[in-house]
């Protein structure tokens, strides 16, 4: 399919802040969009052509989510803010590992064209982020690893797994690392 043609896209985490805005943006570009989340958006209805409530910790849900899709934007994560991610290491790491492992394999099996994995600045060592006058972080500063406990380690692992799916399975992937995202319809 040509890159400028209308694409069939799935956005996981479409009930969250970034995912909700991404659905709007993709729709404005003329794409057909399936939104998937364990919850509906908090502040307004989704503009997705198809919005599916699903628990992506289950492989079958991931398979249904990517079925018939050209592109996957995987934003789904167990994420409840810094207070949550610093006190729930085991359950959060388990939940996000299941989501990311299943989404990659389901995408591979479904023959998805392109896959975007959304990571976090939590993969960087916290000592690089302690000063308010911090210099911009660089990709190579994530290794040697000393990420945020739980959430950061899982995100760093999922980045590597996503890279392996590219190298060994030919999945066309991109990885982005978000840092301090906020704006309209966001929750603190």
Give catalytic residues, as residue numbers. Answer: 151
Long-range contacts of 105-108 (CB under 8 A, 24+ apart): 105/59, 105/62, 106/59, 106/62, 106/63, 106/65, 106/66, 107/66, 107/72, 107/165, 107/171, 108/165, 108/169, 108/171
Residue 9 β-bridge partners? 33, 71
For the beta sheet containing 172-178, the strands, ordered from the edge strand earlier in sequence to the opposite edge, are 50-53, 32-37, 8-12, 71-74, 114-120, 172-178
- Joined together, the tokens standing for residue 4 give 């400028």
d(CA 98, CA 175): 18
């Amino acid at each position: 399919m040509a890159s400028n043609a209308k694409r069939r896209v799935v956005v996981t985490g479409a009930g969250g802040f970034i995912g909700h805005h991404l659905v709007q943006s993709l729709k404005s570009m003329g794409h057909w969009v399936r939104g998937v989340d364990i919850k509906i958006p908090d502040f307004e209805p989704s503009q997705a052509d198809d919005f599916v409530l699903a628990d992506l910790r289950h492989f079958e849900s991931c398979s249904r989510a990517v079925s018939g899709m050209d592109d996957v934007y995987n934003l789904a994560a167990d994420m409840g803010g810094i207070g949550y991610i610093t006190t729930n290491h085991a359950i959060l790491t388990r939940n996000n590992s299941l989501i990311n492992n299943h989404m990659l394999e389901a995408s591979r099996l479904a023959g998805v064209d392109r896959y975007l994995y959304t990571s976090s600045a939590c993969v960087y060592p916290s000592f690089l982020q302690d000063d308010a006058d911090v210099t911009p972080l660089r990709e190579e500063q994530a290794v040697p690893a000393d990420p945020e406990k739980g959430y950061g380690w899982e995100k760093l692992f999922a980045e590597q797994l996503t890279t392996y799916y590219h190298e060994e399975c030919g999945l066309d992937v991109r990885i982005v690392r978000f840092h301090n995202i906020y704006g309209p319809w966001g929750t603190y």
